[in-house]
Amino acid sequence: MIIVMKPQAAAESIKAVTEYIEHNGLNTHLSQGTEVTIIGIVGDKSRLSTENLVSFKDVDRIVPVTESYKLANRKFHPEPSSVKVGNISIGPGSLNIMAGPCAVESKGQLMEIAHAVKAAGATILRGGAYKPRTSPYSFQGLEEEGLRYMQEAGEETGLATICEVVSREAIEAAVKYVDMIQIGARNMQNFILLKEAGRSGLPVLLKRGLSATVEEWLNAAEYIIAEGNPNVILCERGIRTFETATRNTLDLSAVPVLKEKTHLPVIVDPSHATGVYRYVAPLAKAAVACGADGLMIEVHNDPAHALSDGPQSLTFEKFGRLTEELAPYARLAARSFQGSEE
C-alpha cells in the first residue's frame, strides 16, 4: 500500500508516519514531489492498522497496491526516475545511445569502434566480454581481458561503459572496470544473479526475457531494487513469437505500457530485436517516437567478419547516418540529443 500525504505536509508528520511503520517491522519508501509526498510500504501489511494510519496528522489517504512489484511501481514513485551512468543521466528529457560491438574481439577493434560511435553521438560504449551463446561452440568472449579493454576505451574516449554479466564472478570483475552492468534476456529470471546485481553498487540494465510478460519483467527489476539498488534501466529487445522474418518481434507497445506502470527509464534494442541491420534504423526512430529514453545499437568496424551478431551490426557510416536522422525525432519528443560531431 501507499500513504498519500496532504499537500505541503509537515516534515514532522512524515517522520511520525514512517517511524510508526518501521516500528511495526515494515520498510518505507519515500517519494517527495513538489507538492505531495508518498510513503510506500513494503512488508507484511497485516501488522499495521489502517485506522491508526489515517489518524496521523497530514495523512490524506491510503491506496492499496495490488501489483506484486512495489519499488518499481509508478504508484510508489510517481515521478519518472533518472539513472546516472558515469557522467550522463538516462531518463526524461534526454536521448542516450549505447553503441558498440556485440563482442569485444581485440583492443584495437574496440578502440576503433569507440572513437567512431563517440563521434557519431553515442554516450555509452557497449561491448560484450561474457557472451552467453546459444551454441557452446560459438565465441564466448574475452572475459576479464575484454573488461580491461572496455575500461581503456572508456578512459580514452570519455564514454561511459556497459558490459553484460552472467555470474557472480563476472559481476565481481565488472565492477572494477565498467560503469554499468547488463543482465541479458536469458538471465532475466536468474534471481540469484539479479540479487548479486542489486548488491553490486553499479547501475543495472535489465533486458526483457525471451518470452517474459511485462509483469514478470518488472518483478525481475524488483529483485534488484529490493537489494538497495534503485538504479535500474529496462531494455526492450524483442520477444519470441511465431514470426520468423525477424530474429525476434520488437514489442514497441511495451514502452508506453512501462511508462504507465513504472518510474524506471526504458530503452530499446532494435539490433537484437530484428537480427537484420536494414531494420535497425526505422525501428530506432519508432522507439524514440513512442517515448524510449535511449537506444542500444550494435556497431562494428567489419560486420561481415564479426565474431558475434555481424548481420545485425551497423557500419560506422550507417550508424552516423542513423544518428543524424534521429535528431528531428528527438526534438519532437522534447529530448536533448547531441548527435554527430561532424
pLDDT of residue 342: 44
The CATH number assigned to the domain holding 55 equals 3.30.70.1140
In tens, the pLDDT along 27-76 reads: 898 988 777 899 999 888 888 888 889 899 999 999 988 899 999 999 99
The reported pTM is: 0.92
Pair 257, 250: CB distance under 8 Å: no
Domain match, 54 and 98 both: no
Question: Is residue 266, in this structure, part of any structural domain at all?
Answer: yes
Pair 98, 295: CB distance under 8 Å: yes
| Beta-ladder partners of 2 | 40, 63
Residue-level length of the chain:
342
pLDDT of residue 339: 67
Question: Is residue 277, in this structure, part of any structural domain at all?
Answer: yes
CA 210 to chain centre: 16
What is the total count of domains within the chain?
2
Q: Which domain holds residue 56?
A: 2-63
Question: Is residue 338, in this structure, part of any structural domain at all?
Answer: no
Q: Which residue spans within the chain are E strands per DSSP? A: 2-5, 27-32, 37-42, 59-63, 83-85, 88-90, 96-100, 124-126, 160-164, 180-183, 204-207, 232-236, 266-268, 294-298
Question: Is residue 114, in this structure, part of any structural domain at all?
Answer: yes
Which among 284, 234, 251, 279 has a CA at the least distance from the CA of 120? 284
Q: Which residue spans within 78-231 are E strands per DSSP? A: 83-85, 88-90, 96-100, 124-126, 160-164, 180-183, 204-207
pLDDT of residue 42: 87
Domain match, 136 and 261 both: yes
Q: What is the mean pLDDT of residues 290-316?
A: 95
* CB-side neighbour CA atoms (13 Å) of 252: 15
Question: Is residue 229, in this structure, part of any structural domain at all?
Answer: yes
The CATH number assigned to the domain holding 221 equals 3.20.20.70
Domain match, 107 and 147 both: yes
Domain match, 167 and 47 both: no
